[in-house]
Amino acid sequence: MDAGSIDIVATPFRGAPDLTAPLTDPRLAYNSLPLLLSGIFGGAVTPTGGGTAKTWSYAPASVAPLDDDDVFTYEFGDDVLTDWYQFGDGLLERLEVTGPEGLGALTTSMTWRFGSAASTGSTDSPVSGSVPTAGLAVDPDEIIVYLKDIGIYIASDPYDLPASQISDALHSFVFRITQARDQKRFANADQSFDIDAYGRGARLIELECSFAKTADTVGTGSESDAWFSDEAVTRYISIVATSTVMAEGIIPYSWEFTMPMRYYTRVEGNVGGNTIIVLTARAFYDAATFAGVLTSEAVNTLANADF
């Protein structure tokens, strides 16, 4: 618009915000798993178990009716000046869990999306309730998920997985989940830019594994052979973490996820002067044998869904 000036004349105006938060965690804790898995899968999962040990089970739906989203609040700011933000209706668009070379703590990389924003210093967008929420604190003694406690199991049938561990081969892995989100905003005469609902788009679940070259990973009948096949070969892959720390009695902290998968790429690499291969598989909806795309079970001491 020509306002007759070479400098700005018109006032700025607000629009619907794009509220995302890329976050990282240098050490994945067992008690953090429900937040991450509920954030990406939804489903209103609640734990089972009458004692200290709680079991969180996930089996996300691939076809309608899909699981309802679980939404979260993100608060951050300054205690000194009481300058806080409150982002609401948050869920995960992308989750990446890395098991690093050297058998150390698993790390996470996340992309959160939020549907509303408020501030303790805003007249037009005030926070809801007390911010920061009272009672929230960082646990200084979290039980960490280590690669040293993890095994990988690969089989042609899910029932064969317990006897199909791949030994002396897994250097590291990256587990990725990407969930496309459709942001829905409706003109409801509510004078709000907030998101009214989310829709689900396509979901991609990948597992990238760096393997030493062994009889299980290269050569005839190996995982590389399955990748190089003329026709796609179904593999069932399970990652199992069992902590040395007990959640209750003789029940350890643990995390297991299992998927029907097919290999898409193989890349050559090296670790410590030795050649390795990097195989990337993608999970698929297996209605006949697996009745789904993924199952996950985490055992920890988190007692409720309020996280």
SS (H, E, C) 135-171: CCCCCCCCCECEHHHEEEEEECCHHHHHHCECCCCEE
Q: Which residues pair with 174 in a beta bridge?
A: 98, 208
Distance CA(273)–CA(21), nearest Å, equals 38
- Phi first, then psi: give them for residue 111, nearest 5 degrees: -125, 110
Sign of CA dihedral 286, 287, 289, 295: positive
Give the helix ranges, DSSP H, for 2-138.
33-41
Calculate Rg over the CA atoms of the chain: 23
> How many C-beta neighbours within 10 Å does residue 21 have?
13
pLDDT digits (tens, 9 = 90+) for 70-115: 999 999 998 877 899 999 999 999 999 999 999 999 999 999 999 9
Model pLDDT for residues 113-163, shown as the tens digit of each residue: 999 999 999 998 999 999 998 877 778 899 999 999 999 999 999 999 999
Residue pair 300/33 in contact (Cβ under 8 Å)? The answer is yes
Query: 3-state DSSP: the chain helix, strand, coil percent, rounded to 5?
Result: 10, 45, 45
Task: Report which DSSP code applies to 227.
Answer: H
pLDDT by residue (tens digit) across 219-268?
A: 999 999 999 999 999 999 999 999 999 999 999 999 999 999 999 999 99
Q: What is the pLDDT of residues 23-34, one digit of tens each?
A: 999 999 999 999
**pTM given for the model:** 0.94
Single-letter code of the amino acid located at 100:
P
What is the share, in percent, of the chain residues with pLDDT greater than 90? 83
Q: What sign for the dihedral angle of Cα 165, 166, 167, 173?
A: negative
For residue 155, which amino acid is it?
A
| 1 has a pLDDT exceeding 60 | no
Per-residue confidence (pLDDT) for residue 191, from 0 to 100: 83
